[in-house]
Amino acid sequence: MVYRRRELWLLLFLAATLGIGLAVSQFRSGFPDLAERLENLDADAENAAPASPPIPARPPKISEAQTKLNGRLDLNRATADELRRLPGVGPTLADQIVQARERKGRFAAVEDLRTVPGMGAKKIERIHDLVTVEELTSSPK
């Protein structure tokens, strides 16, 4: 059987398409993360499928205006989620503050945060006006 020039070009095109399809399939199975990034490279942010499970929303930061309205955050009563709202305090540092409070007892002053790993002088200065350490109120006997 003899093929005409047009038919040969068509067969060549089909063979090339099949070869490219197989190569892409092998690439996708060998490098799934890279393949997904390349597929979403030019997609709009709205239309792009999320590359990983959604990250839980971080609570909004506490502003100085909010502290004037709501008062300061008590370091001896605050939960880890409440501490995460402070500027420069992430989930790990918030957990460390809570653990330090549980291990060593109540904080006597805001400066006691220096004993918490990851809390430096600059970070304490940054949150100093947003937090407080309230004294225990003793019940009358």
pLDDT digits 0-9 by tens, 103-120: 988 899 989 999 898 888
The answer to whether 113 and 119 are in contact (CB under 8 A) is: yes
Kindly state whether residue 138 falls inside one of the protein's structural domains: no
Of the two residues 44 and 35, the one the predictor is more confident about is 35
What is the span of the domain harbouring residue 97? 64-132
Residues 114 and 68 in one domain: yes
Confidence band (pLDDT; 50, 70, 90) for 73? confident
Kindly state whether residue 48 falls inside one of the protein's structural domains: yes
Task: With 0.75 as the threshold, say if the pTM is over it.
Answer: no
Give the total number of structural domains in the chain: 2
Residues 68 and 117 in one domain: yes
Residues 50 and 103 in one domain: no
Please report how the helices 5-30 and 32-39 are oriented relative to each other, as an axis angle in degrees rounded to 10: 120
Residues ≥6 apart with Cβ < 8 Å to 60 = 85
Residues 69 and 128 in one domain: yes
For residue 79, the SS3 value is coil
Please name every residue paired with 74 in a beta bridge, in sequence order, or none if there are none.
132
